[in-house]
Copies of this chain bind each other. A is one copy, B any other.
Amino acid sequence: MSNQVRDDEGLCCSPMTGEPLSAEQAAELSSVFKALGDPVRLRLLSLIAAHADGEACVCDLSGAFELSGPTISHHLKVLREAGAITGERRGTWVYYRVLPETLRRLAAVLGPAPSASTSA
């Protein structure tokens, strides 16, 4: 029941209130934060996460934006390269899913969960 999360790259994610991140951990994690540091990408990620069955294709997503298909595809590619989502082609469409391990890793490093308040 600890907040510690390990991913398959061996990067640990204790809350950074416990111990500071190494330069290597910071480089890895900051690249994912950077991918989320764009309003369109963050909305895309949340639309995928909230979609039925946890997966969505561009056809499900593009209606939420006044952006071209290629622009949306570019943002999806950035999220994918950052390890925030995966994509699987089935027939005409690529179906995207959030990678929950990545999000948990980010959440864990940001600190203890709200329910684990350490306020005195």
Contact = CB atoms under 8 A, between A and B. Distances in A.
B46 A38 contact: no
Contacts of A3: 113-115
Q: How many copies does the complex hold?
A: 2
Nearest to A100: B111
Nearest to A37: B34
Contacts of A98: 17
Contacts of A54: 17
B21 A42 contact: yes
A34 B38 CA distance: 7
Interface residues of A, number: 48
A98 B45 CA distance: 26
B16 A45 contact: yes
Given A30-B39, A31-B37, A37-B30, A113 B116 contact: yes
Contacts of A49: 15-17, 20, 111
Nearest to A98: B17
A35 interface: yes
A94 interface: no
A80 interface: no
